[in-house]
Structure 1
């Protein structure tokens, strides 16, 4: 069968009593969180003749996420642009604050000198 040795080193086979099962029950079609504990189709788990999902979890997730990769890239670029603009705004504000403090202190010094005269 196409599943021989696929799960031999998995945590499912090494840490549990898989018994005569060749594949986990979760690989069988029609298994949901509600039906998992009562699923009894041994043709799927023991003999692996039929009734199992041919697409693994990794492939299913990859296919689902790859459908939205442009959105992920757009969101990432948007966040980077906003962050860059925030840095520029912060540096600009700090520069303006320093300039304004310097100008204010110079004006105060000049007015003090004029008052002394």
Structure 2
């Protein structure tokens, strides 16, 4: 088994000094603190409703856990770019899908945009 090697010390809790954890909800995670999430959610909802033409670029979200896909489809307002090596099916009501790796596909799209703006 490989040991994680970090150049910098891993983050610690400022209150108790134990190893910090990401504040994300995992299955069966009863230690998750939702107060910061709720503040972020409210700020995001305020921002997304004030944005008239958002573009959602979705990278690698598969069908096995469709939470990200539902989020993208709900917020893209017909401007979804879905990039996935295997599951590219973007409903035309939401946007377009590209088959490929995120890094390479983004580079190709960026090059295309650059060429089209010359």
- TM-score, L = length of structure 1: 0.21
Which of these two proteins has the greater Rg computed from alpha carbons? 1
Which structure is higher in RCO with an 8 Å CA cutoff and minimum separation 6? 1
Greater share of strand: 2
- TM-score, L = length of structure 2: 0.21
